[in-house]
Amino acid sequence: MKITIVYDNEVKKEGLKAGWGFSAYVEMEKTPSILFDTGADSPTLLHNMKELNIDPEKIGIIVISHAHFDHTGGLSEILKINKTAELYIPSSLRLAPSERKVIIVGKDAVQICENVFSTGELEDIEQSLALKTDKGIFVVTGCSHPAMSSILGAAANFGKVYGIAGGFHGFHDFKAFDDLSLIYPCHCTQHKQKIREVFKGKALECGAGLIIEL
Protein backbone atom coordinates (compact mmCIF):
# COMPACT_ATOMS: atom_id res chain seq x y z
CA MET A 1 0.00 0.00 0.00
CA LYS A 2 1.18 3.47 -0.83
CA ILE A 3 -0.17 6.78 0.43
CA THR A 4 1.06 9.94 -1.28
CA ILE A 5 0.42 13.29 0.36
CA VAL A 6 -0.72 15.51 -2.50
CA TYR A 7 -1.73 18.71 -0.70
CA ASP A 8 -0.50 19.98 2.64
CA ASN A 9 0.62 23.14 4.46
CA GLU A 10 4.22 22.02 4.03
CA VAL A 11 6.20 20.55 1.13
CA LYS A 12 8.53 17.54 1.21
CA LYS A 13 9.44 17.43 -2.49
CA GLU A 14 10.95 20.14 -4.67
CA GLY A 15 8.63 21.50 -7.33
CA LEU A 16 5.43 21.03 -5.34
CA LYS A 17 3.30 23.82 -3.92
CA ALA A 18 2.09 24.18 -0.33
CA GLY A 19 -1.36 25.39 0.65
CA TRP A 20 -3.65 25.42 3.66
CA GLY A 21 -5.49 22.15 3.16
CA PHE A 22 -5.07 18.43 2.79
CA SER A 23 -5.28 15.70 0.18
CA ALA A 24 -3.88 12.18 0.00
CA TYR A 25 -3.78 9.58 -2.78
CA VAL A 26 -4.12 5.94 -1.76
CA GLU A 27 -2.99 3.00 -3.88
CA MET A 28 -3.61 -0.59 -2.80
CA GLU A 29 -3.55 -3.91 -4.61
CA LYS A 30 -6.88 -5.09 -6.02
CA THR A 31 -8.63 -1.79 -5.23
CA PRO A 32 -9.34 1.35 -7.27
CA SER A 33 -7.09 4.32 -6.55
CA ILE A 34 -8.55 6.67 -3.95
CA LEU A 35 -8.26 10.44 -3.61
CA PHE A 36 -8.97 11.47 -0.03
CA ASP A 37 -9.91 15.17 0.15
CA THR A 38 -9.00 17.75 -2.48
CA GLY A 39 -7.19 20.59 -0.70
CA ALA A 40 -8.30 24.21 -0.78
CA ASP A 41 -7.91 25.00 -4.49
CA SER A 42 -7.71 23.16 -7.78
CA PRO A 43 -4.61 24.90 -9.27
CA THR A 44 -2.37 23.72 -6.39
CA LEU A 45 -3.97 20.29 -6.30
CA LEU A 46 -3.66 19.69 -10.05
CA HIS A 47 -0.11 21.09 -10.15
CA ASN A 48 0.99 18.71 -7.41
CA MET A 49 -0.80 15.78 -8.99
CA LYS A 50 0.99 16.43 -12.28
CA GLU A 51 4.37 16.66 -10.53
CA LEU A 52 3.62 13.41 -8.69
CA ASN A 53 2.49 11.61 -11.88
CA ILE A 54 -1.05 11.14 -10.60
CA ASP A 55 -3.60 11.15 -13.42
CA PRO A 56 -6.88 12.67 -12.17
CA GLU A 57 -8.79 10.81 -14.88
CA LYS A 58 -7.69 7.46 -13.43
CA ILE A 59 -8.91 8.08 -9.87
CA GLY A 60 -11.44 5.36 -9.06
CA ILE A 61 -12.87 6.68 -5.79
CA ILE A 62 -13.02 10.13 -4.20
CA VAL A 63 -13.63 10.44 -0.45
CA ILE A 64 -14.31 13.78 1.23
CA SER A 65 -13.71 13.88 4.97
CA HIS A 66 -15.84 16.92 5.78
CA ALA A 67 -17.41 19.98 4.23
CA HIS A 68 -14.76 22.62 5.04
CA PHE A 69 -13.24 24.52 2.12
CA ASP A 70 -9.66 23.39 2.75
CA HIS A 71 -10.73 19.82 1.98
CA THR A 72 -13.24 20.44 -0.80
CA GLY A 73 -11.67 23.33 -2.75
CA GLY A 74 -10.35 21.20 -5.60
CA LEU A 75 -13.37 18.90 -5.84
CA SER A 76 -15.40 20.69 -8.52
CA GLU A 77 -12.49 20.74 -10.98
CA ILE A 78 -11.60 17.10 -10.33
CA LEU A 79 -15.23 16.13 -11.00
CA LYS A 80 -15.10 17.98 -14.31
CA ILE A 81 -11.99 16.06 -15.35
CA ASN A 82 -13.01 12.67 -13.95
CA LYS A 83 -16.55 11.65 -14.92
CA THR A 84 -16.57 8.14 -13.48
CA ALA A 85 -15.06 8.10 -9.97
CA GLU A 86 -17.38 6.99 -7.20
CA LEU A 87 -17.86 9.72 -4.60
CA TYR A 88 -18.17 9.14 -0.85
CA ILE A 89 -19.25 12.27 0.97
CA PRO A 90 -20.44 12.95 4.54
CA SER A 91 -24.12 13.80 4.95
CA SER A 92 -23.17 17.34 6.00
CA LEU A 93 -21.78 18.09 2.51
CA ARG A 94 -24.36 19.22 -0.03
CA LEU A 95 -23.66 18.67 -3.71
CA ALA A 96 -25.71 19.23 -6.84
CA PRO A 97 -27.37 16.08 -8.26
CA SER A 98 -25.03 14.02 -10.41
CA GLU A 99 -25.22 11.01 -12.72
CA ARG A 100 -22.13 9.50 -11.09
CA LYS A 101 -22.38 7.11 -8.15
CA VAL A 102 -22.54 9.20 -4.97
CA ILE A 103 -22.65 7.50 -1.58
CA ILE A 104 -23.82 9.64 1.32
CA VAL A 105 -22.05 8.49 4.48
CA GLY A 106 -23.95 8.86 7.73
CA LYS A 107 -22.98 7.89 11.25
CA ASP A 108 -22.45 4.21 10.44
CA ALA A 109 -19.19 2.76 9.14
CA VAL A 110 -19.11 1.88 5.44
CA GLN A 111 -16.93 -0.54 3.49
CA ILE A 112 -15.74 1.40 0.46
CA CYS A 113 -13.92 -1.47 -1.23
CA GLU A 114 -11.70 -4.37 -0.24
CA ASN A 115 -9.60 -3.41 2.82
CA VAL A 116 -10.86 0.20 2.76
CA PHE A 117 -13.46 1.50 5.21
CA SER A 118 -15.02 4.77 6.26
CA THR A 119 -15.38 5.29 10.00
CA GLY A 120 -18.73 6.90 9.31
CA GLU A 121 -19.46 10.57 9.87
CA LEU A 122 -18.37 10.88 13.50
CA GLU A 123 -20.02 13.54 15.64
CA ASP A 124 -22.01 14.64 12.58
CA ILE A 125 -19.04 16.37 10.97
CA GLU A 126 -16.25 14.16 9.64
CA GLN A 127 -15.37 10.72 8.30
CA SER A 128 -11.89 9.19 8.23
CA LEU A 129 -10.43 6.30 6.24
CA ALA A 130 -9.42 3.02 7.86
CA LEU A 131 -7.05 1.06 5.61
CA LYS A 132 -6.42 -2.59 6.38
CA THR A 133 -2.73 -3.46 5.88
CA ASP A 134 -0.49 -6.38 6.85
CA LYS A 135 0.72 -4.29 9.81
CA GLY A 136 -2.74 -3.36 11.03
CA ILE A 137 -5.18 -0.53 10.39
CA PHE A 138 -3.76 2.71 9.09
CA VAL A 139 -5.99 5.77 9.54
CA VAL A 140 -6.11 8.76 7.23
CA THR A 141 -7.94 11.73 8.68
CA GLY A 142 -8.73 15.20 7.38
CA CYS A 143 -8.81 17.48 10.44
CA SER A 144 -9.83 15.26 13.38
CA HIS A 145 -12.72 17.50 14.39
CA PRO A 146 -14.27 14.56 16.27
CA ALA A 147 -12.39 13.42 19.35
CA MET A 148 -9.29 11.43 18.47
CA SER A 149 -10.53 8.68 20.77
CA SER A 150 -13.68 8.46 18.63
CA ILE A 151 -11.68 8.23 15.40
CA LEU A 152 -9.27 5.59 16.68
CA GLY A 153 -12.10 3.70 18.37
CA ALA A 154 -14.11 3.57 15.15
CA ALA A 155 -11.04 2.46 13.18
CA ALA A 156 -10.30 -0.24 15.76
CA ASN A 157 -13.53 -1.97 14.78
CA PHE A 158 -11.66 -3.20 11.70
CA GLY A 159 -8.53 -4.38 13.51
CA LYS A 160 -5.64 -3.17 15.66
CA VAL A 161 -4.69 0.37 14.68
CA TYR A 162 -1.07 0.59 13.49
CA GLY A 163 -0.73 4.25 12.52
CA ILE A 164 -2.33 7.50 11.45
CA ALA A 165 -1.70 10.42 9.08
CA GLY A 166 -3.59 13.67 8.60
CA GLY A 167 -4.64 16.82 10.36
CA PHE A 168 -5.05 16.52 14.13
CA HIS A 169 -6.17 20.12 14.90
CA GLY A 170 -5.73 20.87 18.62
CA PHE A 171 -5.39 17.24 19.72
CA HIS A 172 -3.22 17.03 22.85
CA ASP A 173 -4.39 13.92 24.72
CA PHE A 174 -1.19 12.23 23.57
CA LYS A 175 -1.74 8.99 25.47
CA ALA A 176 -4.28 8.10 22.76
CA PHE A 177 -1.26 7.51 20.49
CA ASP A 178 0.67 5.31 22.92
CA ASP A 179 -0.09 2.07 21.09
CA LEU A 180 0.56 3.42 17.58
CA SER A 181 3.72 2.60 15.65
CA LEU A 182 3.61 5.34 13.00
CA ILE A 183 2.28 8.89 13.26
CA TYR A 184 2.27 11.67 10.66
CA PRO A 185 0.90 14.97 12.01
CA CYS A 186 -0.08 17.00 8.92
CA HIS A 187 -2.06 20.07 7.83
CA CYS A 188 -3.86 21.78 10.74
CA THR A 189 -2.10 19.95 13.61
CA GLN A 190 -1.36 22.61 16.23
CA HIS A 191 1.11 20.55 18.28
CA LYS A 192 3.25 18.99 15.52
CA GLN A 193 6.55 19.60 17.24
CA LYS A 194 5.33 18.33 20.61
CA ILE A 195 3.92 15.17 19.04
CA ARG A 196 7.24 14.52 17.31
CA GLU A 197 9.07 15.05 20.61
CA VAL A 198 6.77 12.80 22.65
CA PHE A 199 6.79 10.04 20.03
CA LYS A 200 10.35 10.42 18.79
CA GLY A 201 11.10 7.92 16.05
CA LYS A 202 7.41 7.13 15.54
CA ALA A 203 6.04 10.59 14.71
CA LEU A 204 7.51 11.90 11.47
CA GLU A 205 7.26 15.03 9.36
CA CYS A 206 4.48 15.36 6.82
CA GLY A 207 4.26 17.46 3.65
CA ALA A 208 3.19 17.38 0.02
CA GLY A 209 5.23 14.76 -1.78
CA LEU A 210 5.63 12.47 1.22
CA ILE A 211 5.12 8.82 0.32
CA ILE A 212 4.07 6.36 3.04
CA GLU A 213 4.57 2.72 2.09
CA LEU A 214 3.13 -0.04 4.25
Instruction: Answer whether residue 212 is part of any domain.
Output: no
pTM over cut 0.95: yes
Domain that holds residue 34: 2-207
Provide the pLDDT for residue 99: 78
Domain CATH code at residue 45: 3.60.15.10
Provide the pLDDT for residue 142: 98
Instruction: Answer whether residue 214 is part of any domain.
Output: no
What is the C-alpha separation between 18 and 5, in angstroms, rounded?
A: 11
- Please name which of 72, 68, 8, 6 lies closest in space to residue 37, comparing C-alpha atoms: 72
- What stretch of H or E contains 151? helix 148-155
Q: Residue 209: how many CA atoms within 13 Å on its side-chain side?
A: 15
- What stretch of H or E contains 110? strand 110-113
Instruction: Answer whether residue 213 is part of any domain.
Output: no
What is the C-alpha separation between 13 and 133, in angstroms, rounded?
A: 26
Provide the pLDDT for residue 119: 98
Provide the pLDDT for residue 88: 97
What is the C-alpha separation between 127 and 32, in angstroms, rounded?
A: 19
Instruction: Answer whether residue 186 is part of any domain.
Output: yes
pLDDT in tens, the chain (214 residues): 999 999 999 999 999 999 999 999 999 998 999 999 999 999 999 999 999 999 999 999 999 999 999 999 999 999 999 999 999 999 999 887 777 899 999 999 999 999 999 999 999 999 999 999 999 999 999 999 999 999 999 999 999 999 999 999 999 999 999 999 999 999 999 999 999 999 999 999 999 999 999 9
* 135: amino acid identity, one letter: K
How many domains are there within the chain?
1
Provide the pLDDT for residue 53: 98
Question: Can you tell me whether residue 99 is helix, strand or coil?
Answer: coil
Instruction: Answer whether residue 92 is part of any domain.
Output: yes
Provide the pLDDT for residue 163: 98
What is the C-alpha separation between 149 and 90, in angstroms, rounded?
A: 19
Instruction: Answer whether residue 176 is part of any domain.
Output: yes
Partners of residue 208 on adjacent β-strands: 11
- Please name which of 133, 130, 109, 132 lies closest in space to residue 121, comparing C-alpha atoms: 109
Instruction: Answer whether residue 103 is part of any domain.
Output: yes
Q: Give residues with Cβ within 8 angstroms of 150, minimum separation 6.
A: 122, 123
Provide the pLDDT for residue 189: 98
Provide the pLDDT for residue 95: 84
